[in-house]
Amino acid sequence: MPTHRLSRVALERLQAEHLDLTTRGRIEVAARIGRAREMGDLKENGDYHAAKDEQGHMEGRIRQIEAILENHEIVEVLDNGRIDHGCIVTILYEGDAPSQAEKYLIGHMEERPDDPSISVMSATSPLGAALLGAKEGDSVTYDAPNGSLTVTVVRVEACP
Residues 88, 159: contact at Cβ < 8 Å?
A: yes
Q: Which of 55, 49, 47 lies closest to 27 in space, CA to CA?
A: 55
Least confident range of 72-76, 97-101, 153-157: 72-76
Q: What angle do CA 18, 53, 21 make, to 5 degrees?
A: 15
Q: In this predicted model, what pLDDT tens digit does every residue of 23-60 receive, in sequence order?
A: 999 999 999 999 888 887 777 788 888 999 999 999 99
Q: What is the mean pLDDT of the chain?
A: 91
Average pLDDT score over residue span 106-113:
90
Q: What is the pLDDT of residue 88?
A: 92
Quick check: pTM over 0.85? Answer: no
Cα–Cα nearest to 94, from 144, 132, 129, 133: 144
Residue 136 has pLDDT above 90, yes or no: yes
Beta strands in 17-138 (DSSP E): 72-74, 87-93, 102-106, 119-121
How do the domains of the chain map onto residue ranges?
Answer: 4-74, 87-158
What is the model's pLDDT at position 75? 87
Q: Which fold has domain 4-74?
A: Helix Hairpins (1.10.287)
CATH for the 87-158 domain, from 3.30.43.10, 3.40.50.150, 3.10.50.30, 1.20.1090.10: 3.10.50.30
Q: What is the pLDDT of residue 159?
A: 62
Give the mean pLDDT of 7-15: 92
